[in-house]
Structure 1
């Protein structure tokens, strides 16, 4: 770690521990609240997935045709969505919509093919990521300016996504017992894509790259090219709201759930969400306890210091100490060596030592003024002091 990094780390530590840790306590409290909000979302999603029925694709028509009011099952009623669909979990194989529509003539036109592997797919995602260097420049910048000042991730990565209408079918052979149309509109969920191409190509330096390197700016050093597909015949699980559209079952994503299309089964989803919920629960408890403890200590500590400051302000000035200081010829200005002068007034001799640090750097008058401050600190080591002791020479 360089000296600049060490200085930044020390500054951050001082900021976190400011006001006896109040800043750190507030930060932990904010993180704890965010953790609890994530825990509530995760627990609600787990409850909805557990209540959602795992049905066969061939049974979707009969399930969607039956109204919720005729079903005595509470789980079915809880799985009903406010938009008129039902939350269900189905598993099937991927195929194009033209295959089940009987449009065999245009089947080739309704199917996408990977440029690298030649496999048939319904979703093809091509991503190009520009990788930047981590050198800090000749002038000693301790960070990459390109990544610090609001440089959007879109400048680093470009993604192209091509899709065709596809369905999930039950079984892998014709005639198929049933299918459900997958609607990707307004879906922000991760797709279970398979990587078929991954290559890193170096970027040759240009004359402009030299100036970028000198001034500490990030410059591209490589281009990562990836291609991912959702191939035909892959078996996946869909969890979402299902409804009949023109007599055909159609499933859409649910924004409140973390899954839509996944390689995992329903049991695996429940296990993954259960682990995530437990981690968020205990993390929220630990962070909340730490934040309450640190904030409580900070409040009590600063309250006691404020009361002590008020008590010192209300006390009358210690005239005997001042009179003694004035009557002692050693404390007055005069022929005093430089090494024995008070570090504050630079006119009187050092006679008072601070407790608990023990530094003998002030005259009695200046030591008394330091003690009466709202936050008394030693002028040498900046440590909090409780009082001062007069030192008499033998």
Structure 2
């Protein structure tokens, strides 16, 4: 498998996801309506600017932030002596007037479970918020049931491409690199087997296609067909595929048919020069800058299974094919002239015939070398200066060969 380039991982996708999150309407949370695991945030101090200096608030909840514990005793250990405060109707216990620089720790005991925060220092600018999250027995019971159901036999069902699915376009040495990142979501509590396979046909112009590292082993790429085999476990299955398209003109359109419904269309494209982007599926897009590079980011509504996504670019950097075509035409013209010249020679002696054959072999070798260097130039796999020097050398050698052939024919 191929690893996703560091430029994508380190900067551009972070920018992209941040822009998508910022564009969400108020009240929208994480993908699929999921909330972060409150237990992972338990005990982590968070400096804030909306609290007075020397103030610490501790919120005690059971299972999630939606379930605050009222009248719960909270201790703040550290400083001259421990301080005890009861939580209010929102589950908050507030400790005010603490001396900046004092190291403290919040502690609470809920149904026999001792909850402790990390030790932290009271800041000299703003206050500190801390959450203590107690275990929810019902949530633990449901999690155990979910683990059991996840091992059950697969049931007929459907999957969709989740909100974190996205399409990323970035220019590289070989052309336009396309990254299709699919979050395949099964919202059921048991594994499901869709009625038909999840399969993609990549564009005809796609080259160097590969499944990226970190993708599910259920993804298989054969030629230009990507297949993701079921069944699909509850939750998400990540599939990332990349390929390259070599633009031959300034206009480029990429189409991708979807085998399953897509919750939303999210796109990020590296912008080069005066490049423009358009798509019937993208409701709005804008330019954003990160690390000195401009990106086009956009988002659109849900797309049904079987529909085709269309991404169109204009003003795309490309390598024109006319230099290669012109060089080949010139070489063919010289070849034709040489053949015509040798055809006039008439009968030749055995020595002349041997010389003619040697010149023909040299001509064929030089012509093949010229065709190869032109192909390397078209693929941008040869340094431009090296290409020009090599091309001049080969054309000059061909001219000498044909001059010798004409001289032999005249003799």
TM-score (structure 2 length as normaliser): 0.19
TM-score (structure 1 length as normaliser): 0.20
The structure whose residues are more often helix, as a share, is: 1
